Structure 1
Amino acid sequence: MFGCMNKLSMLGAAMMLLASHSAVAAMGPFEIYEQALRNDPVFLGAIKERDAGLENRAIGRAGLLPRIGYTYNKGRNSSKATSLDERARNRTDERNYNSYGSALTVQQPLLDYEAYAAYRKGVAQSLFADEAFRGKSQELLVRVLDNYTKALFAQDQIDIAQAKKKAYEQQFQQNEHMFKQGEGTRTDILEAESRYELATAEEIEARNEQDAALRELGALVGVPAVDIGDLAPLGPQFQTFTLQPANFETWHELAISNNPNLASQRQAVEVARYEVERNRAGHLPKINAYASMRDNESESGNTYNQRYETNTIGLEVSVPLYAGGGVSASTRQASRTMEQAEYELDGKTRETLIELRRQFSACLSGVSKLRAYQKALKSAEALVVSTKQSILGGERTNLDALNAEQQLFTTRRDLAQARYDYLMAWTKLHYYAGTLNEQDLARVDEAFMVAQQPSP
């Protein structure tokens, strides 16, 4: 007897050890996000896109800085020079000689509006790249939590479907037993069987959705798919967050000033505006200062056996007069592009504010919905118990029991959905406001049962 108890104790200890190991191994959304920062190809591509975009500032500034050039040539020449002598006869002089030339030139734009507009365009393109990257960084937070909650909700649906199947199977066996004894009907059996098959279909659909979500998470962290056992479930004592700020007007102002997608779109308007200015500069004069040092020897037939050293400093003025109408057409084209960018900014602003309002309302109503579903769950559980008791008393039928169980399972599913919807609404509210950061995800992470690493 004692040996059996020892074996049971050892088995229990092993079970606890396995459970604690799986708990430690469970990953919360924040850990998935940290891995995604290193492995998500979309985010890694965004980093390179940002780095490339930031170079536009230096490219634009280059047009305002001095340009220094050096040329060098050395060659062997063979030529014939024909001239008239005193008797008016042709005289041919064959020349075989080396030629040499070098020049160092420095140019500095003094008045070049096209170069200035190109510089301001480069600055706007650099800011656009930076804001676009900030938007994709926040979008990664949303994608992680979205697929994480989808996988967990699918698991909840699988568990509910399996519980349904178990309950309907028991009901089916009970109805079949009662039918054989002449106390039930064939309809009761068919009803239980039908609902069992529907639960089976729901389980299959949930598994497909879960597989898709786990593969999306796998793509984020660089593996084919994440195992559902690696994800930390939502804690049973889930509590909603205090919404700060509490009024929508403040969220509205935050979105207008901080939303990275709106900020990048504003920079796109600036890019288009300075493209208009750059094209318009085709009608304006340019003034450059230049200095050069030249050293030439026998560079041409006229300078045969002659060496020149020339230093030059001066101004160069170029005035465009007519270019076939191309400058005006390019300016009009750029103006239409700028107007398009302005309309796109207006559309993006409206879309963002609509989504902001939707998520704000979802956060406010989500608190009441969760409270209502929690009460509904208790009522549904009590209804199942009372219905079964009423059946024994002959007051209810088997169909009533099936309906009560169906209502219980539906309420469980809706409660789970409401919890995940609330977390996503709270996250997306900060995303559309442009304030979503790692601290926000870490706060959401606390709602999940993420085991802490044991201290050594």
Structure 2
Amino acid sequence: MLRKLSLAIAVSCASSAMAGAADMPLPTRTGLVSVYQEAVNNNADLAAARASYDAQKEIVPQARAGLLPNISGGADINDTRTSIDQPSAVISRSGTVYRATLSQPIFRADRWFQLKAAKDVNEQAILQLSATEQNLILQSAEDYFAVLRAQDNLASTKAEEAAFKRQLDQANERFDVGLSDKTDVLQAQASYDTARASRIVAKRQVDDAFQALITLTNRDYNSIEGIVHTLPVLAPTPNDAKAWVDTATQQNLNLLASNYAVSAAEETLRQRKAGHAPTVDAVAQYEKGDNDSLGFTNPNYTGQSFHGSVEQRTIGLQVNIPIYSGGLTSSQVREAYARLGQSEQQREGLRRQVVENTRNLHRAVNTDVEQVQARKQSIISNQSALEATEIGYQVGTRNIVDVLDAQRQLYASVRDYNNTRYDYILDNLRLKQAAGTLSPGDLQDLSRFLKADYNPDKDFLPPDLAKEAAKNFERPTER
């Protein structure tokens, strides 16, 4: 009796271990949106970015303070002893003076430009924080689907191991009855051992993927919801690279932040140039103390001074004209010119990178759309080829090496199909991030295609593949 080692049989063998647990309740599975919400609440990188923004936004009130009134108060306590030779005498004077000073900048061009630069830096910080928050959306999806990718890879590797085990058992049976030599057994054993080693590595990769999810959210996970095979695989809308590039140059958050970086550098240059300009401040001062401390002299009586408390009030303008500061201002102007050039070139480099990434990701999504269908058909074709090779082996026209190679190609096509599915999902999200349109709503849309009772050992392939492969294999024999 002919015993086929088709994909359907291998999958059945790989998932048979689950049959005993069929009556057990399924573990609670976490969805994509829940993972993202946990990341928003617990991600350390996002918390650090928010703290950095909270610190950086204080630059605006600090710069504004340079244009607002400054009020200060103080006191002087003095004890002065003066010795006179002719006539010999010692004069002691002591007292306390209290003063309050109000200073209001009237013309401070440098501080005004400093405030404008601070506002631009604040806007840049807001956009950088938004870019970090947007990147967390993508990172949540990448880590989430990395787990599903690893689980599907493990499931296909387990199915491959089961298929090679059946091939090894069949080779041993054929050797026992004299239908094959020892070489066939050794070839099958080597393939089985390799598949077993691959399954061990795949298991570790699943654990590593879960660990990355734990690091992202600071929460343990036992299982997560899987993506169904009915997820629409469609070209991006609009399917026009130029339209995506135009959107990216207008909405990419990092590119918008770089615009504010240039504006801030321009205002800083104006601030440095204003270091050559005069400054004008209005100053009002009030002083009160005893006459010994203030040294007030009665103008009607030369050489006489008042005793007791004295008050003084002063209001005036202070004008300062910079003449020479050792070349400091000129040096700061040259530095600001260089910083402006640096920020402009960084913006241009980022713009080119955004354009490149957007075009590449647009091509990648379209390629993924074609590849998903091609990879799916490749599984059907490889399964049919495997079954045909098995028949050839049974009748002696093929050897066991052909069968083992066909099996490896089949499971390689399975992994390629699943990898392409996840590449399609993530490339779509990356394209939206490059265009600046990625939002939590995109994760909500994906969550509609998540399956709460997803079982990788049974669901790593579309349910129709085994049926289609069987049809393709039987059709030639009917003729």
Range of TM-score over shorter length: 0.7 to 0.9
Percent of residue pairs identical:
25
Higher relative contact order (CA 8 A, sep 6+): 2
Where does residue 221 of structure 2 map in the other structure? 226
Where does residue 303 of structure 2 map in the other structure? none
Distance 1:13 1:155, change over 3 A: closer
Where does residue 449 of structure 1 map in the other structure? 451
Q: Deviations over 1:349-408 (max 9, x none)?
A: 111221111111111121111111122222222333333333334343323322222222
How many matched pairs? Answer: 427
| Shift of residue 305, structure 1, vs aligned partner | 2.5
Where does residue 132 of structure 1 map in the other structure? 128
Where does residue 237 of structure 1 map in the other structure? 230
Indicate the RMSD between aligned Cα atoms, in angstroms: 2.4
* Equivalent position to 1:434, from 433, 436, 446: 436
Report the 3-state secondary structure (helix = DSSP H, G, I; strand = E; otherwise coil) of the residue aligned with 1:300.
helix
Q: Deviations over 1:297-349 (max 9, x none)?
A: 23627347353323332221111000111211122122212212221111111
Cα distance between partner residues in 2 of 1:181 and 1:124: 84
Distance 1:124 1:299, change over 3 A: farther
Report the 3-state secondary structure (helix = DSSP H, G, I; strand = E; otherwise coil) of the residue aligned with 2:58.
helix
Name the aligned partner's letter for residue 216 of structure 2: L
Where does residue 18 of structure 1 map in the other structure? 25
Distance 1:341 1:65, change over 3 A: same
Correspondences of 1:162-201 after superposition (within 5 Å): 162-201=158-197
Where does residue 41 of structure 2 map in the other structure? 38
Where does residue 55 of structure 1 map in the other structure? 58
Correspondences of 1:143-158 after superposition (within 5 Å): 143-158=139-154
Correspondences of 1:58-73 after superposition (within 5 Å): 58-73=61-76
| Shift of residue 153, structure 1, vs aligned partner | 1.1
Structure 2: which 5+ runs fail to align? 1-18, 297-305, 455-479
Where does residue 403 of structure 2 map in the other structure? 401
C-alpha contact 2:123 2:260 (8 A) present in aligned 1: yes
Where does residue 372 of structure 1 map in the other structure? 374
Distance 1:171 1:291, change over 3 A: same
Name the aligned partner's letter for residue 359 of structure 2: R
| Shift of residue 13, structure 1, vs aligned partner | 13
Name the aligned partner's letter for residue 277 of structure 2: L
Cα distance between partner residues in 1 of 2:323 and 2:147: 67
Where does residue 385 of structure 1 map in the other structure? 387
Q: Does 1:424 align with 2:426?
A: yes
Name the aligned partner's letter for residue 252 of structure 1: V
Distance 1:451 1:331, change over 3 A: farther
| Shift of residue 34, structure 1, vs aligned partner | 0.2
Q: Does 1:338 align with 2:340?
A: yes
Where does residue 90 of structure 1 map in the other structure? 88
Distance 1:282 1:15, change over 3 A: same
Cα distance between partner residues in 1 of 2:154 and 2:267: 56
* Equivalent position to 1:206, from 202, 206, 209: 202
Q: Deviations over 1:24-46 (max 9, x none)?
A: x2112211010011111001111
Report the 3-state secondary structure (helix = DSSP H, G, I; strand = E; otherwise coil) of the residue aligned with 1:57.
helix
Name the aligned partner's letter for residue 284 of structure 1: A
Name the aligned partner's letter for residue 351 of structure 2: T
Where does residue 281 of structure 1 map in the other structure? 274
Cα distance between partner residues in 2 of 1:301 and 1:221: 68
Where does residue 293 of structure 1 map in the other structure? 286
Structure 1: which 5+ runs fail to align? 1-11
* Equivalent position to 2:412, from 410, 413, 420: 410
Report the 3-state secondary structure (helix = DSSP H, G, I; strand = E; otherwise coil) of the residue aligned with 2:451.
coil
Deviates more, 1:382-391 or 1:121-130: 382-391
| Shift of residue 451, structure 1, vs aligned partner | 6.7
Deviates more, 1:112-121 or 1:387-396: 387-396
Cα distance between partner residues in 1 of 2:294 and 2:258: 61
| Shift of residue 178, structure 1, vs aligned partner | 1.3
Where does residue 259 of structure 1 map in the other structure? 252
Distance 1:78 1:115, change over 3 A: closer
* Equivalent position to 1:99, from 96, 99, 102: 96
Q: Does 1:116 align with 2:112?
A: yes
C-alpha contact 2:95 2:293 (8 A) present in aligned 1: no
Name the aligned partner's letter for residue 53 of structure 1: Q
| Shift of residue 175, structure 1, vs aligned partner | 1.1
Name the aligned partner's letter for residue 215 of structure 1: Q
C-alpha contact 1:248 1:360 (8 A) present in aligned 2: yes
Name the aligned partner's letter for residue 90 of structure 1: S
Q: Does 1:246 align with 2:239?
A: yes
C-alpha contact 1:101 1:299 (8 A) present in aligned 2: no
Report the 3-state secondary structure (helix = DSSP H, G, I; strand = E; otherwise coil) of the residue aligned with 2:450.
coil
C-alpha contact 1:101 1:297 (8 A) present in aligned 2: no
| Shift of residue 78, structure 1, vs aligned partner | 4.5
Q: Deviations over 1:232-282 (max 9, x none)?
A: 112132222562233222211211111111122222222322222222222
C-alpha contact 1:165 1:199 (8 A) present in aligned 2: yes
Cα distance between partner residues in 1 of 2:452 and 2:250: 35
- TM norm structure 1: 0.87
Report the 3-state secondary structure (helix = DSSP H, G, I; strand = E; otherwise coil) of the residue aligned with 1:321.
coil
Where does residue 9 of structure 1 map in the other structure? none
| Shift of residue 15, structure 1, vs aligned partner | 4.4
Distance 1:324 1:425, change over 3 A: same
Report the 3-state secondary structure (helix = DSSP H, G, I; strand = E; otherwise coil) of the residue aligned with 1:182.
coil
Cα distance between partner residues in 2 of 1:118 and 1:201: 64
Where does residue 311 of structure 2 map in the other structure? 309
Report the 3-state secondary structure (helix = DSSP H, G, I; strand = E; otherwise coil) of the residue aligned with 2:90.
strand
C-alpha contact 2:233 2:369 (8 A) present in aligned 1: yes
Report the 3-state secondary structure (helix = DSSP H, G, I; strand = E; otherwise coil) of the residue aligned with 2:227.
coil
Cα distance between partner residues in 2 of 1:239 and 1:417: 16
C-alpha contact 2:97 2:293 (8 A) present in aligned 1: no
C-alpha contact 1:233 1:449 (8 A) present in aligned 2: yes
Name the aligned partner's letter for residue 290 of structure 2: E
Deviates more, 1:413-422 or 1:371-380: 371-380
Cα distance between partner residues in 2 of 1:279 and 1:54: 22
| Shift of residue 130, structure 1, vs aligned partner | 0.5
Where does residue 7 of structure 1 map in the other structure? none
Cα distance between partner residues in 1 of 2:165 and 2:292: 103
